[in-house]
Chains A and B, each alone.
Chain A
Amino acid sequence: GQNIDQPTEMTATEGAIVQINCTYQTSGFNGLFWYQQHAGEAPTFLSYNVLDGLEEKGRFSSFLSRSKGYSYLLLKELQMKDSASYLCAVRDTAGNYGQNFVFGPGTRLSVLP
């Protein structure tokens, strides 16, 4: 089956660092994606990992361990505008073309002043 787990909610302080974890179990693996979604808006792409290791992109970094079925999103120098839901998604190889995206429930991050 397919299962993706993330913490439901997290709170952090402006200027701090926060790590959002994601664990997954899918029948196949063709990449892991992180999306940001502000309330009432569409998800927007943040990062993509297909190989093990850390991908850094400004204040955002994402890590992947395929053997452990684990990823995390690291947000540094938190700003108030980072308050949003963060969705972990695995692209499964199941079916033709390997574009079956499975999303986690999302982690709602609140950044406090």
Chain B
Amino acid sequence: DAGVIQSPRHEVTEMGQEVTLRCKPISGHDYLFWYRQTMMRGLELLIYFNNNVPIDDSGMPEDRFSAKMPNASFSTLKIQPSEPRDSAVYFCASSPQGDQYFGPGTRLLVL
């Protein structure tokens, strides 16, 4: 298995633009998680899905953030409009129901 795949690996955009991050989980994993990591706040859980259904989105910072999982092999995290404070590394992780397997992350810089 190729592991969790994320794209793009790096994204530089200007304030106000829409940003879409993509994730392909490991086949057969029922859970998918989106995290954000910054130096100041560490690793924060944003939202997680079970069998494509959003279960807990209490970590989503505000309405500018949205996440979808249209099928078992694909999820997106969208920021619209983006702001400089959204600059961070965004990780996707999947899990069969135990330890999580993290993707390589998307390094986002909003200017």
Residues in A lying within 8 Å of B, measured CB to CB: 33, 41-45, 48, 87, 95-97, 99-106
Q: What 1/0 mask marks residues of chain B from 20 to 51 whose CB sits below 8 Å from any chain A CB? A: 00000000000101000000001111001010
- A102 CA to B33 CA in the complex, in Å? 12
The chain B residue with its CB closest to the CB of A95 is: B56
B101 at the interface (CB under 8 A from A): yes
Contacts A99-B48, A103-B43 given; indicate if A42 touches B55 (C-beta within 8 A): no
Interface of chain B, helix or strand or loop or mixed? strand
Contacts A95-B58, A99-B95, A101-B33 given; indicate if A42 touches B102 (C-beta within 8 A): yes
The chain B residue with its CB closest to the CB of A46 is: B99
Q: What number of B residues sit within 8 Å (CB to CB) of A? A: 22
Contacts A96-B56, A97-B55, A99-B95 given; indicate if A87 touches B43 (C-beta within 8 A): yes
Task: Evaluate contact between A100 and B45: CB separation under 8 angstroms.
Answer: yes
- A104 CA to B48 CA in the complex, in Å? 18
Task: Evaluate contact between B42 and A42: CB separation under 8 angstroms.
Answer: no
List chain A residues, Cβ under 8 A from B56. Answer: 95-97, 99-100
Task: Evaluate contact between A42 and B100: CB separation under 8 angstroms.
Answer: no
B98 at the interface (CB under 8 A from A): yes
The chain A residue with its CB closest to the CB of B104 is: A42
Task: Evaluate contact between A104 and B42: CB separation under 8 angstroms.
Answer: yes
- Within the complex, the shortest CB–CB distance from B7 to chain A, in Å, comes to 14
Task: Evaluate contact between B55 and A96: CB separation under 8 angstroms.
Answer: yes
Contacts A97-B50, A99-B31, A100-B45 given; indicate if A41 touches B55 (C-beta within 8 A): no
- Within the complex, the shortest CB–CB distance from B8 to chain A, in Å, comes to 15
Task: Evaluate contact between B43 and A99: CB separation under 8 angstroms.
Answer: no
- Within the complex, the shortest CB–CB distance from B3 to chain A, in Å, comes to 9
- A101 CA to B97 CA in the complex, in Å? 12
- Within the complex, the shortest CB–CB distance from B43 to chain A, in Å, comes to 4
List chain A residues, Cβ under 8 A from B55. Answer: 95-97, 99
Task: Evaluate contact between B43 and A41: CB separation under 8 angstroms.
Answer: no
Instruction: Choose among B43, B44, B100 the residue that contacts A45 (Cβ–Cβ < 8 A).
Output: B100
List chain B residues, Cβ under 8 A from A45. Answer: 99-101
